[in-house]
Structure 1
């Protein structure tokens, strides 16, 4: 940046601190991990809901059992779509061999929706007890209590968009058709006592067409696709780790997979206690704020692309490591964002730093944006620096400016210390591919649109310009 532009920005920001803006409107594993679409809204304390779909005899039950076994430190409940078959009428019972149990109309989806809604909101539900010999529901029903994790398993659990809307993770068990047929023949002949001709006739008439027409098309909705079913222990382990991570995260991270909150430790909690204390002296506030900022910056660097690199060690051996992404820059939102520049420079030697100032003009809500950005910013990964994410208004303005300058949304990483839920919603809904890295999520905003419990006016406290 030129010295003249720097002086201009400093003059504009010298007398004011701009933070109280008006509130804006608010793979697959093939193991193929695909970025999921927006996760359904989920508030703190609600269960993590997993849908497991796939063809008949694909290994869905085995996958569910393995997940439940490995989530032994959480309360987990399994709900089977098979429990929600409609009772057959006398006429349907008389011609049961002609009834298509693999068609979506065979299920009482409305009752399934009601049960899932109640479980999501922490209510006890009665799951039907379906008798596959009489093809009718029998008493007593199965009573299911609220749990940390709910697994909904069935061939068509992805078919209805309303049912999918409850799910935080969708798994499709993808098993070869010949394997599924062999398993079905073994189960139906050995366990159910059917002759092989009846099994094959039912398979060709109902099972195979229903799989191709209704089940396979729902594979596109899956967040994770597991080949080979329960035999794929690598996939199961990765899924369980992901679930453990999600259960330990703030509920907003379950809604927005592009939001990252530092894992809370006593050290981080202690530093937050100090910087939030109104009686903390300026030099102590700066010291602990800098420590928190450094942690956020380090975490943000972990989201940059790396490539493999081999080096020769001083003893002549080969070490295979990674090489840092080189085309970076930092953009600080004046003036609080400037407090984060030193930590970024300490981690990224010689990094370019640009500036953005968002200035409210008058009382009509109009804003002027002043900026001085690297000329080649469109070719770089960008760290956007602002310690407080409140309403999200200034962040949306800054990100919009960066995108208008040619920066790819997926190459922007927004670093801040504390975030209000309203700001997270505003930014993530508008820019779903940007990454937000923060050290803590706040309770919300007060009637003056100030973050609470908050840190006060961060820039004033950091730069010593508070009006005490």
Structure 2
């Protein structure tokens, strides 16, 4: 099997990364694309009580098991299957459920800090940073976390002010300098996505020739 084309999609919380990923996927046969969310690699915290898990800074790079993710990516590149963890946002811990992932032609890595780790970054063929207005991102996050992650308005606001916002400027936004393309998600980004799809197809085509 040819080496998968690996795309990193980074950006602030609720910047619209998933929307961009979905638009990229539409340019290909879906069965040839695998999306791996960095969130699923939050460290296992089964040894911690809930009151301690809530206090963890989930927007700091130390909260993520990048060693495991890097190991898994190397296996996928070698054409091997992996058993990927999944994350339970309501319980602030890894879920008991895992996912079996087999290598596909295209692998998309999505997460706010996906370009922070140099080892993971260097495995990527294309690196994208999705940017959106800070106020818009907060509104999206508030709506999402209350509707999909069982969070209260008070807890979302507290987490945003205490960790999400400061960590965005300390760790997330600085990774923008590693991006090949910066996509403004509060505007029409179809042209950027079309160019990215063309580039991915070009890489695949070049691999086929070799």
Q: How much does 1:208 deviate?
A: 0.4
Give the SS at the match of 2:9.
strand
- After TM superposition, give the deviation of residue 229 of structure 1 in Å: 6.1
1:324-363 superposed matches below 5 A: none
Q: CA distance change for structure 1 residues 186 and 73 in 2, over 3 Å: closer, same or farther?
A: closer
SS for the counterpart of 2:3 is: coil
1:173·1:229 contact (CA, 8 Å) conserved in 2? no
Q: Note if contact 2:90-2:151 (Cα within 8 Å) is conserved in structure 1.
A: no
2:120 aligns with: 163
- 1:105 maps to which residue? 62
Counterpart Cα distance in 1 of 2:179 and 2:49: 34
Q: Which residue, 1, 11, 17 being the options, matches 1:60?
A: 17
Show CA shifts across 1:179-201 (max 9, x none). Answer: 10010111123333433232211
1:246 is aligned to 2:183: no
Q: Deviations over 1:226-251 (max 9, x none)?
A: 11168411211111111111111147
Q: Which residue of 2 aligns with 1:236?
A: 193
Q: Distance in 2 between matches of 1:197 and 1:139?
A: 28
Q: Is contact 1:54–1:60 with CA below 8 Å preserved after alignment?
A: yes
Q: Deviations over 1:365-402 (max 9, x none)?
A: xxxxxxxxxxxxxxxxxxxxxxxxxxxxxxxxxxxxxx
* Residues 1:82 and 2:39 aligned together: yes
The equivalent residue for 1:452 is none
User: Residue 103 of structure 2: SS of its match in structure 1?
Assistant: coil
Counterpart-to-counterpart distance in 2, 1:89 and 1:139: 10
Match of 1:192 among 123, 146, 149: 149
Q: Secondary structure, in 3 states, of the residue corresponding to 1:70?
A: coil
Task: Give the equivalent residue in structure 2 for 1:4.
Answer: none
Structure 2: runs of 5+ lacking an equivalent:
none
Q: 1:91 to 1:141 in 2, by over 3 A?
A: closer
Contact kept in structure 2, 1:87 and 1:136, CA below 8 Å: yes
Q: CA 1:92–1:222 in structure 2 vs 1: closer, same or farther (change >3 Å)?
A: farther
Note if 1:116 corresponds to 2:103. no
1:130-186 CA-to-partner distances (Å, cap 9, x unmatched) read 222223333441001111111011111111111111101101011111110010111
Q: Is the 8 A contact 2:130 2:185 kept in 1?
A: yes
Higher helix proportion, which one? 2
- Contact kept in structure 1, 2:41 and 2:69, CA below 8 Å: yes
Rounded Cα–Cα distance in structure 1 between residues aligned with 2:184 and 2:22:
16
Task: Give secondary structure in 2 for the equivalent of 1:216.
Answer: helix
Distance between the aligned counterparts of 1:229 and 1:187, measured in 2?
A: 17
Tell whether the 8 Å contact from 2:70 to 2:120 is kept in structure 1 after alignment: yes
Give CA deviations for 1:192-236 in whole Å, capped at 9, x if unaligned: 343323221110100001100000010000001111168411211
Unaligned 5+ residue runs, structure 1? 1-43, 252-263, 265-440, 442-468
Aligned with 2:179 (options 191, 200, 222): 222
Q: Equivalent residues in 2 for 1:239-278 (5 A)?
A: 239-250=196-207
Moved over 6 A (4+): none
Q: CA RMSD in A?
A: 2.0
What's the counterpart of residue 152 of structure 1?
A: 109
* Residue pair 2:45, 2:94 contacting (<8 A) in 1 also: no
Q: Give me the whole-angstrom Cα distance separating, in 1, the residues matched to 2:38 and 2:46.
A: 20
Q: Which has the higher contact order (CA 8 A, sep 6+)?
A: 2
Alignment partner, residue 174 of structure 1? 131
Higher Cα Rg, which structure: 1
